[in-house]
Amino acid sequence: MADKVASLGEAVRRIGDGSTVALGGNTIHRSPCAAIAEMIRQGKKGLTLVKTAGAYDVDVLCGTGVADAVLAAYVGFENFGLAPRFRRAVESGRVKLYEHT
């Protein structure tokens, strides 16, 4: 049986530009922050993000140009309002939003 254990860097390298990536966690809780940072570090581009309700993870991926599209019900910081980088990216047309409540 092949070894299926990979470092975070190797796992993220397997994500091709233009891929669809589902992110775990909900709003500001349990987001995959190390994986998000690694996607940015590796310069991923054109990703479509799928998330129930995003916050920092979706916001920073939109703000750094990694994401081209987002499928989510909500992206914000709960009582602090909408995620600013995400909002600017969607309003400018750089990121396509597919809202699904």
The model's pLDDT over 15-27, given as tens digits with 9 standing for 90+, comes to 999 999 999 888 8
* pLDDT(100) > 90: no
Closest by CA position to 69, among listed 38, 43, 83, 90: 90
pLDDT score recorded for residue 1: 59
pTM of the model: 0.89
Rounded CA Rg of the chain: 13
- Total domain count, the chain: 1
Residue 2 lies in a domain: no
Q: What CATH number has the domain bearing residue 82?
A: 3.40.1080.10
Residue 3 lies in a domain: no
Residue 85 lies in a domain: yes
Domain of 38 in residue numbering reads as: 8-99
Residue 1 lies in a domain: no
pLDDT digits (tens, 9 = 90+) for 30-80: 889 999 999 999 999 999 999 999 899 999 999 999 999 999 999 998 888
Cβ-contact 47, 67 below 8 angstroms: yes
